[in-house]
Amino acid sequence: MDLQLSGKTALVTGASRGIGLATTAALTAEGMRVIAAARTTSPELAATGATVVPADLSSPGAPQRLVDQAVAEVGPLDLLVNNVGGGDDDLVAGFADLTDEQWQRTFELNFFSAVRTTRAALPSLLSRGGTIITISSNGARQPHTGPMPYTTAKAALTAFSKALATEVGPHGVRVNTISPGPTRTALWESPDGHGAKVAQALGIPQQELLARLPAEAGMTTGRLVEPTEVAALVAFLASPHAASTAGADHLVDGNAVKTA
């Protein structure tokens, strides 16, 4: 299927690995001119052909600087992918042990970074009748399944996107979210990431945790989500084939969330 994205422009945040890297690769493969924002770059990201811009979007002024540079590099934006997130490696404690600083840091990265980047990019997107796709989490619907600050921030992100879709939809901008379940990324697989911390807290090897995770999360597919599966949906939702899809939250979680 021709997604009719060739020659269009995109900004992808959190692009160095995982879903962001897969999304950058999928969009450049469709012929889009992509600005890939990340705190650190990698050979894999450089190989996509995207223009890589260093950015730490947890800093309040960084989103505006990023969007200004993106527009200077590729022109007005047709697509914004708010993917940056995570940062919950130290959030395995219970509520009473979580500090204000941990809550604030998690919300800065997982919620406010998207709010600020969207605000900065919106004039450009309005001028092009563009699309905003934000990567949330199925934890927004099942907040008990992950660290409380992280899933709460993701729930706020999903609600923000739904409200924004109603406001900007009549002006030609489509807004959707994608909510993956446990995905084969560094968050779970890195030896010093969140998965490793959870395994340590449970007193089991990390590989055992990963083997048990799909079943314990209720994923009837029996495996973790692949980043490329999320990226494929991003590309489709960005395309004219999804022109009537707006204000929706799309689960990619192997049927972990079973409510309608």
* Residue 163 is assigned to a structural domain of this protein: yes
| Phi, psi (rounded to 5 degrees) for 256 | -65, -40
Whether 14 maps to a domain, the answer reads: yes
Domain at 16, CATH number: 3.40.50.720
In a domain, 205, yes or no: yes
Series of mean pLDDT values for 10-residue runs along the chain (260 residues): 97 96 98 96 94 95 98 97 81 84 94 98 98 97 89 97 98 98 89 85 92 94 97 98 98 93
pLDDT at 142: 93
83-97 pLDDT, tens digit per residue, is 999 865 566 778 988
Query: Does residue 257 lie within any of the structural domains?
Result: no
Give the structural domain span for 179.
9-252
Report if residue 216 sits inside a domain.
Answer: yes
Residue 146 forms part of a structural domain: yes
Residue 233 lies in a domain: yes
> Would you say residue 4 lies in a domain?
no
Annotated active-site positions, please?
150
What pLDDT score does 144 carry? Answer: 87
CA distance 177 to 137: 9
Strand partners, 249: 177
Quick one: pLDDT at residue 90? 62
How many domains does the chain fold into? 1
